[in-house]
A and B are shown apart, each in its own frame.
Chain A
């Protein structure tokens, strides 16, 4: 009995440890961004003509790139994009998606079906490719990257919101609130929205990690940004040719930063899946329609 309790506690500590570690990693990136200008002698743009593509050393712990710029400074500088772009896209996605989902969930009927089928149709194009095509169409700039990712993630939040509202609608207390004569705005603001918050917030880390991946993919292919930014995907693209020649650090270190940052977000998402509100299969941003809690998926087929 006591043994079992101890085991459970240990398990809990371990699981929380994952989420805690993830938060520490993200905070570490944020602290590094803030501290870099004062704590690190090499600015991200400064060229050191004496050491071009220099291997990692004490002077340049992560080496230098083809222009003799310190890679550590550039990787840290690139974290700004990793924070800003997903956050901005998420804000746009929730602002657009949540009202749509609310309307579909409350309205039901033809509006609900129309939105559902429209999202299903758009969802046929792999979201990564559609996001990239949108940016290619609007022209390369970070603002367009945010818009493209935000639009596609709005679908995810609209679906989550709609499912949540439908589920709440069938619960007694909403029925009671309606019967008590609450006006619609009060019903939505006081009774519905607060109960959907957990679900919406729970979706955030996974969507942030997706956004980060899309941003990097665009940078890597050369769609999103002009040359010479410190966005990690773009840094990897510039480092690739040197990687084949043996100077791997210019591409691999920004890549590892991407992996650690994205990994932290994924771990957060996982721990929310495990302990947070149960989610239906509305995920994403692609293939993510997986239910880790082990409930059967509702497959969304073509018909």
Chain B
């Protein structure tokens, strides 16, 4: 077989295996519970016929392996079951909440990167000075900071004390109605609908959760940027450039260019795991996104919803890694051409 084809098949095989592991993890979650899982799937008190239907659907009277196969087939068909709380299909409920979460994450990653790259670069150039130590101290503190505590501190100061931030009541002021859905982002949709009051409200609601998440992202990323820059600054070509007396801007460009793959990899890893932190922040701000949905499902033992949430979060991480792999490949092709 030709090499590229074989490489592709190998990747496909690995991808399938990873997907199987994820589905198995999600399947085992319901096998693990202390109470019989059919009860949990149907809520604490399922009606008799509902219960019979669940036993039939999931094959709960059959061996675990058969149950797993059936579960896998259902997942492949996109049937993630119904939430016993609302009675609606889990997939639909999750899909409806994805734009809210994506909006939050996107702005946070952007803002976090904007904070982390200049700070990390400055710290690397100021290696082992007071400035560097301050940046590192703040980053380590940021990494130790529970996201919900940061959110609460910001709310205490800017909502309760200074009264310049809106209440943590979701994505838009409770007296306004959400704009017609186009992109799913309330802010962008309000602008499209030329509703300046709604746009302003949506933007105001975004500020604190985005700042919270951006600081969380920024803390880890700053240390990463600093480390990657330092590695570059030890490289012979950089030492030579510095000895030539190049300007700080030129030196930054040279080192940053070499550090980019490391920073990109770190950003991808972080984004893939960001849903966990986002969920906590959504919970505090009543954001109504996927993360909050998942946490509430866990607190209520709404198992179809928990399973769906776990699958979707894994899918999100996989997409992040794929995007990263793709970007890296394109970058490599460009390097080869250059």
Contact = CB atoms under 8 A, between A and B. Distances in A.
Interface of A: 11, 14, 117-118, 120-122, 124-130, 132-139, 209, 213, 216-217, 220-223, 233, 236, 240, 243-244, 246, 248, 251-252, 255, 258-259, 262-263, 265-267, 270, 286-297, 299-303
B259 to A, nearest CB: 9
Contacts of B21: 117-118, 120-122
Contacts of B146: 213, 216-217, 220, 233, 255, 258-259, 262
A138 B14 contact: no
B128 interface: yes
B266 A125 contact: no
Q: Is the interface of B mostly helix, strand, loop or mixed?
A: helix
B192 interface: no
B20 interface: yes
B199 to A, nearest CB: 26
Contacts of B251: none
Nearest to B275: A126
Given A120-B18, A213-B144, A220-B148, 4 more contacts: A128-B279, A134-B32, A299-B269, A302-B322
B272 A126 contact: yes
A222 B296 CA distance: 9
A255 B324 CA distance: 35
A138 B32 contact: yes
A137 B29 contact: yes
Contacts of B15: 302-303
Contacts of A120: 18, 21
Interface in B271-326: 272-277, 279-280, 283-284, 294-295, 297-299, 301, 303, 306, 309-310, 313-314, 317-318, 321-322, 324-325
A207 B275 CA distance: 20
A94 to B, nearest CB: 22
A243 B160 contact: yes
B11 interface: yes
B223 A290 contact: yes
Contact of B144 (A221, A248, A266): A266
Contact of A217 (B20, B156, B220, B280): B280
B317 A125 contact: yes
B301 A136 contact: yes
B140 interface: yes
Interface stretch (B50-58, B75-83, B88-96, B227-235): B227-235
Contacts of B19: 121
Interface of B: 11, 14-15, 17-22, 25, 29-30, 32-35, 128, 133, 136, 140-141, 143-146, 148-149, 152-153, 155-156, 159-160, 167-168, 220, 223-224, 226-231, 234, 261-262, 265-266, 268-270, 272-277, 279-280, 283-284, 294-295, 297-299, 301, 303, 306, 309-310, 313-314, 317-318, 321-322, 324-325, 328
Contacts of A126: 272-276, 313, 317
Contacts of A128: 273, 276-277, 279
B25 to A, nearest CB: 6
A252 B152 contact: yes
A52 to B, nearest CB: 19
A125 B226 CA distance: 28
A117 B21 CA distance: 9
Contacts of B140: 263, 266-267, 270
A223 B298 contact: yes
Given A209-B144, A293-B227, A302 B325 contact: yes
Contacts of A209: 144
Q: Which of B261, B280, B328 has the most CB of A within 10 A?
A: B280
A221 B317 contact: no
B152 A129 contact: no
21 contacts: A121-B17, A126-B273, A129-B276, A133-B29, A133-B306, A133-B309, A134-B29, A136-B306, A216-B146, A221-B298, A221-B299, A243-B155, A266-B144, A287-B274, A288-B220, A289-B265, A295-B231, A297-B269, A299-B268, A299-B328, A303-B15
Contact of B262 (A138, A216, A259, A296): A296
Contacts of B298: 132-133, 135-136, 221, 223
B324 A221 contact: no
Given A126-B275, A217-B148, A252-B152, A297 B32 contact: no
A41 B245 CA distance: 67
Nearest to A213: B146
Contacts of B220: 287-288, 290
Nearest to A287: B270
B156 to A, nearest CB: 5
A289 B266 contact: yes
Nearest to B326: A301
